[in-house]
Structure 1
Amino acid sequence: MSFLVHVLKVFSPFYDLTGKGTPSLYKPERKEHFMEDTEIITLLGQREESALHAVTQRYGRLLRHFAGQILPTAQDAEECINDALLDLWNTIPPKQPASVASYAVMLVRRRAVDRVRHLTAKKRGGGVYPVALEELGDCIPDGSTSGEDTDALKEALDSFLAGLSDKDRRIFMGRYFALVPIESLAKSNGVTKNTINIRLSRMRKKLKSCLEERRIFV
């Protein structure tokens, strides 16, 4: 597997999906009618398929956003979400995520990354994902991750993100976790596209240094 793909797949959900500074991806009109995460997890533990319907009802727009940013067609995105929902069903229990939204997004992104690799091999790749991958390629070599210690990589990425300012962290995770276009990042932060590009370039260099210090290269 490409090292760059692996990096993007193990990013922890530092980018708060529901907090300040997050794009308004999901705003239900009748929020009180949506099932709470604790109820969803309980139903999953009881093997009630209604739990999957509740996830789709509450977080469907959010999941379609992330899948759509990575994959080239709506059909690919929907198939990816269906696969991720099956993963959700098969992993809860034993997993007990604090946030169903964050966990579901992680599963969707992993499925989408795998699918885009397959589509790219067929010369069908598209969307923001390949561009983001190319940007990270400027500072991280593209090599095999066979035998890579995923926990060590995740720890390094979390440490790198924790060392950024709140603004830089939002920009970096907005670009490489949420896959937000440069233009949108510039507008939401009240700066030019050139400023965003310069900030991202500096942060990619810091990420490279962080990974080099921990010898996370093969």
Structure 2
Amino acid sequence: MQLTNLFFTLLLSTAVVAKGNKTTKAVTDKSLCKEMASLEKTVALAANTTKLDEKTKGNATKAAEIQSKASDAATTLATMQSNTTLVSTCAVISAAEDTEDDCDTMTTLAKLVSLAANTTKVDEKTKGNATKAAELQTKASAAATKLATLQSNTTLVDACSSIKSAKEASKSDTKAAKAAASSSAASAASASSTAKSGAGMVTAQTGVLSTIIIVAAGMMML
């Protein structure tokens, strides 16, 4: 249970990052993991003669260039993979990304199944075309099967629910911050307007006092 909670915590910290709260470490981890994945692909490609031939379209020169790059990549990759902490972090990030992809897939499939079950919407979507409607129903049937399989994974369903809640909380925090900033700006504008009105009522004989009021209002806005 503790391991599950730990996974969810790491998952959410990777999948949901509020704007203005991205740490340098998180960005560095992701970039290093992407680099490792790229190096692994290069090494794997060079080791597969069939894919290498397809990639280079039989061009021996290009194939040699890729193999040369793969040799350097293998050295760099070995060094990176010797860092067990980095490897573990990349595994968590990869799992988080895969999980979020599955969550997006579930959402898409659910929408398709829901659409197919609504004859009115199907008719609108296909503009009354029976052939297209039949094709949509076939896709929805396959989608329903795949959706049922994904939903049978309770761990995935719980993770998707947690991710959704975290995203909604992040949006709420963003809206609250914008509202607070707007309110603060309105208050500052009101204070400035009041100060200017007061300054306008001061007579020429009290010009020094008027200047002090305007300067004070300006300081409040900083």
Report the TM-score when normalising by structure 1. Answer: 0.25
TM-score by length of 2: 0.25
> Which structure has the larger Rg?
2
The structure with more helix, counted as a fraction of residues: 2
Structure of greater relative contact order (alpha carbons < 8 Å, 6+ residues apart): 1
